[in-house]
Structure 1
């Protein structure tokens, strides 16, 4: 039986994207101080944007706006992926450190976008 979704916090994709944000914040805490306004800032900003846009879209009154905000969250996830890959290439994080959660969130964001085209807004 599926759990009733009352708020955006009940959405598994929101929960996973929050987990991803926490993991990213923990990873960037060990980055050198000279990256504070570079990759640290970029990673933290883009990872926080993902669950924020999912929540904002869910809070809007229309399915069309919800889908729009899910696409914005998807774009932020792609941006985050790029920053993570760059961090790996320059040796600031271990290869594959965040890939599992990134891939999980990517799949989870695509699913509701497709589903919302077929069903009414919750």
Structure 2
């Protein structure tokens, strides 16, 4: 059995790592969107995707549980917003089924990790 790694930075959080990977994926896929979307869906997807990791990072730095939870819940809100944008991108044919499925699965994984992070804060003494 490996030793549990000490969490010293937000970059040590698995939830942040996966949120970061998701944001990078969103940047790559939106590079292929039509130019007419640069200030619309492309921008909205990139903002919501980067907001997830940013809020995890900011929540990590907060001292009180209440503040931490506030930022982690905001990250969940941004994640849900991104899930909605992905559905729109799929339905207007900017994303094919395979591309959508991969990104949708990434959002599910980030959601599970965020839920775990929130639960750990709620149950800590």
With normalisation by structure 1, the TM-score equals: 0.95
Q: Please state how far the C-alpha of 1:97 moved relative to its aligned partner.
A: 3.6
Listed as ranges, the gaps of 5+ residues in structure 1 are none
Indicate the residue corresponding to 2:88 in structure 1: 86
State the Cα RMSD in Å. 0.9
Structure (1/2) with the larger helix percentage: 2
Matched, 1:108 2:110: no
Identify the range of structure 1 (95-104 vs 31-40) with the bigger mean alpha-carbon deviation: 95-104
> Can you list the C-alpha shifts for 1:21-56, whole angstroms capped at 9, x where unaligned?
000000000000001111100000000000000000
C-alpha distance in 1, partners of 2:45/2:122? 30
Indicate the residue corresponding to 1:25 in structure 2: 27
SS in 2 for 1:98: helix
Indicate the residue corresponding to 1:37 in structure 2: 39
After superposition, the Cα gap between the structure-2 partners of 1:37 and 1:28, relative to the gap in structure 1 and judged at 3 Å, is same
C-alpha distance in 1, partners of 2:76/2:96? 24
After superposition, the Cα gap between the structure-2 partners of 1:86 and 1:24, relative to the gap in structure 1 and judged at 3 Å, is same
